[in-house]
Amino acid sequence: MLSLLMSFGVLTACGPGDSAAPAPRASADAALPREVTAKELGTLNRAEDILERRCLAHAGFRLPAAPEPARTGPEPPMALVLADASWAREHGYGHRVRTPEETARLYADDPVGEYLRALKPKRRAEALRVWQGGGVDTVEVTLPSGATTGRSTRGCTSEARGELYGDFRVWFGADAVDRGVMALAMSRAQAEPAYTKALRSWSDCVAGRGLPHETPQRLRAALGESAPVTKEIEYAVAEADCAAASGLAEVADDVMGRHLSEGRERYRADVTNARRMRLAALPKAERIIRDDDTSRHNTQKRGTE
């Protein structure tokens, strides 16, 4: 539901795989509980969506299920830079980039947006308040960067996460700090002299391929979120080939691993709690999805009889 909520000026909380890149090869957290896989994260996200819709239905808003993603697939193996050229040749940037055709289908198939747009303005505002809590009774968390983030403890989004993870306030704090550790590590790693030196060599390399961009992030921004497959693979392969040729891949792995280790050690309690809560929620998430699938199947069966 994220793209829909953005179109209405509302953002939901994200899981670790929504805004943070996967950890690099360095084993920065061997002593911590494991992270959920991309597939497991998808299960948690789907269960959250189901619980949100149930909550909204209880308030009289029967949102249809969101369509399946335009593209699915593995998470790109990158943090600061995509370094696996073989992966890039096969997958490009994975699900992070869509073809123009996939983008067109995504915006054409928007049942949730159509439902909300069909509501009268006052009723739509009420739906969004019920969904997101209206900024009432906000819990605030200080992130590792020093910034503060907050979220209403009311509303169906927070209620769904509280039901799935057991305690919304604890979950929100641990999850925000866990994701904040990754963000801070990326920021500090990119400021390392060794990284900036290797980055200049990487930039020269991609410029030699006709892609004059200073960083991998700017290269991906130039590609955009929608591009033909051939162009996507061209950019991804250039990023990965030049990461190896310039030495950026090795340097990035080293500095990112070091800063992640430091951050996860400093915020060990929150990182541990976030990972444990995700893992503990998986069985419940799977049951929620099974029950929802069974309910929809029975509804469809009755409709055809």
Whether 193 shows a pLDDT value over 80: the answer reads yes
Query: What is the per-residue pLDDT across 82-101, written as a single tens digit (0 to 9) for each?
Result: 999 999 999 999 888 888 88
Whether 118 shows a pLDDT value over 90: the answer reads yes
Rounded alpha-carbon distances, angstroms, from residue 162 to 176, 215, 245, 253: 14, 39, 47, 35
What's the confidence (pLDDT) of residue 19? Answer: 38
Query: What is the per-residue pLDDT across 103-112, written as a single tens digit (0 to 9) for each?
Result: 787 777 788 8
Query: What is the per-residue pLDDT across 24-55, written as a single tens digit (0 to 9) for each?
Result: 444 446 789 999 988 899 899 999 999 999 99
Whether 218 shows a pLDDT value over 60: the answer reads yes
Question: CA 46 to CA 120: how far, in whole Å?
Answer: 28
Q: Hey, CA dihedral for 204, 205, 208, 213, is it positive or negative?
A: negative
Q: What pTM value is reported for the model?
A: 0.81
For the chain, the C-alpha Rg in angstroms (whole number) is 21
Whether 2 shows a pLDDT value over 70: the answer reads no
Closest CA to 270 of 169, 132, 185: 169
Q: Tell me the Ramachandran region of residue 44: left when phi exceeds 0, alpha when psi lies from -120 to 50, beta otherwise.
A: alpha
> Which of the pair, 77 or 189, is modelled with greater confidence?
189
Range with lowest mean pLDDT among 115-119, 261-265, 299-303: 299-303
Packing angle of the helix pair 121-132, 156-165 (nearest 10 deg): 30
Neighbours of 16 (CB within 10 A): 21
> Which of the pair, 79 or 57, is modelled with greater confidence?
57
What's the confidence (pLDDT) of residue 78? Answer: 74
Whether 77 shows a pLDDT value over 70: the answer reads yes
